[in-house]
Structure 1
Amino acid sequence: MQHILEAIQAGASGDELANLSIPESYRAAFVKRDEVDMFEGVESSEKDPTKSIHIDEVATPELAPDEVYIAVMASSINFNTVWTSIFEPLPTFGFLDRLARESEWAARHAQPYHIMGSDASGVVLQVGSAVRNWKPGDRVTVHCNHVDDQDHSAHDDSMLAANQRIWGFETNFGGLADLSIVKANQLMPKPAHLTWEEAAVNALCNSTSYRMLVSHNGANLKQGDNVLVWGATGGIGGYAIQYVLNGGGTPIGVVSSPERAQLLNDMGCEAVIDRRAEGYQFWSDEHTQDESEWRRFGKKIRELIGEDPDIVFEHPGRSTMGASIFAVKRGGTVVTCAATSGYMVEFDNRHFWMKLKRLLSSHFANYEEAWAANKLISQGRIHPIMSDVYDLEHVGAASLAVHRNEAEGKLGVLCLAPEEGLGIDDPEFREQVGEANITRYRTKR
C-alpha cells in the first residue's frame, strides 16, 4: 500500500490512481472465527478487545461490479466494534455466513476472519464496471448501510429492507484497514474542511442521530421542542445535542460527571443533569423499578426547563427506559436505537397508554438521511465529536477504552494516513467554521 499512499500524498490524478496496482494483501484489524469461544465464562465487563483483535495482512477480495476499492486514510471505533471484538451478543461470523448464501459475490464475506469497522474516510482507487457516480481520485466518506437494491423491500426506506446490514459488522471487509471494498451507494463526499480522521468519525453516529431526531422516519424534531438526551456527550448523544440546538429546540443533556456537564455547557446546552451527582437509582433491585426515582427525575427536568420533554433520545435501554417513558410529556415520543445497558426493557404501561405516548424504533439511516447528515457536516453546521486518535496497530486499546466508557465522543483511527492533521482541502472554510468548534472534544479531554 505504500505506493498508493505516496501517490495520494503527491496529489496524483484520478487516472494515475486508477493505473496503480491493487496489492494482493493489505493490513487490517480483525477477529478470528476459531477464537469465538475465547471469553467463555468471562463477564462482559472483563472481556478484553486487545486479546481478540488482530492486526495483520489479509487477502484482497475481488471487486464486484457495484463496488469500489478505497484507500482508507482513517476510520473510527463504534460500539459495534466492541461487540464484534467480545463476540456479543453473539459472534458476527453467523452474519457473514448468512450473507455468503445470497450470491456468488456475497460468498466472499464468509472468511475465517472478520475485518471490522463501520466508518471510513479515504480515496477511491478503482471502481466496478457498474459504478457511474464515482471515479478514482474522489475523496469520500463511507456510510455503513449495506443494502441490496435488487430487493423490492429496499425501495421505500432502505432501512426496512429484508436483508439490510451494517457494513463492517454484519459484512466483512470493514473500514479498520488500509484498504476496503464498499458498495458505490455507501459513498458520500468528504467534508473538505476536515482532516481524514475528523471526517472518518461522523457517518455512523451522525446519521443515526439525524434519523432519530430530524427525519420524518424519526421523531421529526421541530423548533421549540424540548429533547432529553441520554449519554449527551457520547457517540450519538454529542450529535443529538447539536441537532436539537441547530433545529431550534432545547436540549436537556444527561451525563455522568462535572467535566461532561461543562462540555455540554460549552456546546450551548444549558440544561444539564449529572445523573451520578443526583444519585438516581431507577432500579431498586434487578427485578424492580422505583417509580419514586422516575418522579424525582421528572421533577428535575421541570426545574430546568419548566415542562416535560417532547422527545426523549433513548439508547441505554434497560437501565433507563422506564424513566424515559415516564418522563416524556403526554403525547410525546421516546425514540430508541440501542440498548447498551440491556435489551430486555420494562416500563409501566399505564403511564404509556393512558397519556398517549409513542415509542419509536430507529436503526442507522438510509442513504438520503446519511447524505443529508453528511451535508450538514460539510456545511460546518454540525461538527465532529472526536476526542482522541489511535493508529491501526492500537485498535484493541481504542476498543477497550470505548468498552470501559473511558472515551468521550468518538475515537478516530489512522489507517493509511501516516499522521494526524492531513487531508484538509479547504483551510479557508475551516477557519470560517472555527477550530474551536471542530476540535472542541479534543480540547476538553
Structure 2
Amino acid sequence: MKEILDAILALDTADAVSADFAALPLPESYRAITVHKDETDLFDGLVTRDKDPRKSLHLDEVPVPELGPGEALVAVMASSVNYNSVWTSIFEPLPTFGFLERYGKLSGLAARHDLPYHVIGSDLAGVVLRTGPGVHAWKPGDEVVAHCLSVELESSDGHNDTMLDPEQRIWGFETNFGGLAEIALVKSNQLMPRARHLSWEEAAAPGLVNSTAYRQLVSRNGAAMKQGDNVLVWGASGGLGSYATQFALAGGANPVCVVSSPRKAAICRAMGAEAVIDRSAEDYRFWKDEHTQDPREWKRFGKRIRELTGGEDVDIVFEHPGRETFGASVYVTRKG
C-alpha cells in the first residue's frame, strides 16, 4: 500500500502516467473498517442511543476482492461517514448481512459480497488502480470520486431512472467492499472525475448526500424545483439539508431552513439562507404521544412559515426525517 500511496502522491508530477499505475503490484490484502456477521446480536436489548459503534466497528486486514467485468479497484484517499454507516454499525433497522446474502445469490460473481464481514462506507475519493473487462472510460491513475448507486441495468425498468432498477443497491451498505478502506471495489459507472480544486477530503464528502439532494429537489425524477419556489428544508444544516439549501439558493428558490439549535441556524445563515426556524427554541411538539399527532402544532408551524415567506405556503418539502415530521410537512404544503 505504501508503494501505491507514493505513486498517488507523485500524480502532480509529469512522471506519473497510467502505465505506472497499471504496473503497480496489488497487495494481497488491505485495511478496512468492517462489521462482523457473528456480532449482529451485540446490541440486543439496548435502545438506539445506547448502541455504541465503537464496539461493533473493526479495523481488519481483508483480502483484495476479485475484479469483475465493468468494475474498478480504487485506492481510497478519503472517505466519508454517512447515516447508512451508522445504521450498519448498530445493525438497525436490520443487519446488512441479509442484503449481502441476497446479493450473493444473484450470480457467481455477486457471491463475492456474501462474507462473514462487511467492509462499509458509501463515499470515496481516490485513484483507479485496475479496471475490469469492458471498462473504457477509466484507466489506472485516474483521479475519481464515486457515487453510491450500484445498478445492474439488465432490466429496462432501470433505463429511464436507475433508481427503479430491480437490482439497485447502495454500494457499501447493500454491497460489500465499501469506501471506508484502503481499497474499494466499485462499478465503473459509479465513477466521476475528481474536482482538482478540492482536497481529497472535500472531494469525498459530497457524493451520497449531494446526489440524493439533487435528485430530490432538482432532477426530473424529483421535485423539479424552479425559481421562486418556497422550499421547506428539514435538518437544513446537515449533510442532505445543507446541499438542499445550497441548491435552493443557487436555483433562485427560497429555502425555509428548519434546524434544532442556534449553532445550526448560524450555519444556514452563513450559506445565505434568510428564513430559518429553530424548532427547539420554538418548542414544536408535533406528537402529543407516540400514537397521536397534534394539528394545533402543525398550524402554529405553518403560521411561522408564512411569516417568513410573506404569507405563502411552501411549494416543496425536502423531507427526510420521516414519521416525526411527515404530518406537519403535508399540512404546511401548498395545495397541489
One fold, TM greater than 0.5? yes
For 2:321 and 2:149, locate their aligned partners in 1 and report how far apart those are by CA, in whole Å. Answer: 22
Q: How many angstroms does 1:40 deviate by?
A: 0.4
1:330 paired to 2:330 = no
Letter in 1 for 2:129: L
Matches within 5 A, 1:350-369: none
SS in 1 for 2:79: strand
1:320 paired to 2:322 = no
Match of 1:122 among 117, 123, 126: 126
Which residue of structure 2 aligns with residue 194 of structure 1? 198
Q: How many angstroms does 1:30 deviate by?
A: 0.4
Which residue of structure 2 aligns with residue 251 of structure 1? 255
Match of 1:140 among 132, 144, 155: 144
SS in 2 for 1:89: coil
SS in 1 for 2:280: helix
SS in 2 for 1:122: strand
Q: How many angstroms does 1:8 deviate by?
A: 1.1
SS in 2 for 1:227: strand
1:151 paired to 2:155 = yes
Which residue of structure 1 aligns with residue 189 of structure 2? 185
For 1:198 and 1:165, locate their aligned partners in 2 and report how far apart those are by CA, in whole Å. Answer: 24
Q: How many angstroms does 1:103 deviate by?
A: 0.9
Letter in 1 for 2:89: S
For 2:308 and 2:320, locate their aligned partners in 1 and report how far apart those are by CA, in whole Å. Answer: 22
Matches within 5 A, 1:71-90: 71-90=75-94
Q: How many angstroms does 1:260 deviate by?
A: 1.1
For 2:116 and 2:2, locate their aligned partners in 1 and report how far apart those are by CA, in whole Å. Answer: 26
Which residue of structure 1 aligns with residue 62 of structure 2? 58
Higher RCO (CA-CA < 8 Å; seq separation 6+) = 1
Which residue of structure 2 aligns with residue 33 of structure 1? 37
Deviation readout 1:267-319 (Å, 9 max, x if unpaired): 11000000000000111111111111000000000111121111111011111
Deviation readout 1:35-55 (Å, 9 max, x if unpaired): 000100010111000000000
For 2:7 and 2:224, locate their aligned partners in 1 and report how far apart those are by CA, in whole Å. Answer: 44
Which residue of structure 2 aligns with residue 388 of structure 1? none
Letter in 2 for 1:262: A
For 1:253 and 1:10, locate their aligned partners in 2 and report how far apart those are by CA, in whole Å. Answer: 43
Q: How many angstroms does 1:93 deviate by?
A: 0.4
For 1:49 and 1:259, locate their aligned partners in 2 and report how far apart those are by CA, in whole Å. Answer: 26
Letter in 2 for 1:311: I
1:310 paired to 2:315 = yes
For 1:217 and 1:244, locate their aligned partners in 2 and report how far apart those are by CA, in whole Å. Answer: 16
Which residue of structure 1 aligns with residue 180 of structure 2? 176
Letter in 2 for 1:9: L
Instruction: Report the RMSD for the aligned CA atoms in angstroms.
Output: 0.7
Moved over 6 A (4+): none
1:284 paired to 2:316 = no
Matches within 5 A, 1:401-420: none
For 1:149 and 1:308, locate their aligned partners in 2 and report how far apart those are by CA, in whole Å. Answer: 40
What percentage of residue pairs aligned between the two structures are identical?
61
SS in 2 for 1:72: strand
Deviation readout 1:103-150 (Å, 9 max, x if unpaired): 111000001100000000000011112101101111000011110022
Q: How many angstroms does 1:153 deviate by?
A: 2.1
For 2:270 and 2:74, locate their aligned partners in 1 and report how far apart those are by CA, in whole Å. Answer: 36
Q: How many angstroms does 1:330 deviate by?
A: 1.3
Letter in 1 for 2:282: E
Q: 5+ residue gaps in structure 2?
A: none
Q: How many angstroms does 1:265 deviate by?
A: 1.1
TM, length-normalised to structure 2: 0.97
Q: 5+ residue gaps in structure 1?
A: 332-445
1:225 paired to 2:229 = yes
1:205 paired to 2:206 = no
Q: How many angstroms does 1:151 deviate by?
A: 2.5
Letter in 1 for 2:313: D
Count of aligned pairs: 331
For 2:275 and 2:30, locate their aligned partners in 1 and report how far apart those are by CA, in whole Å. Answer: 47
Letter in 1 for 2:33: A
Q: How many angstroms does 1:225 deviate by?
A: 0.3
Match of 1:234 among 238, 257, 276: 238
For 1:59 and 1:133, locate their aligned partners in 2 and report how far apart those are by CA, in whole Å. Answer: 26
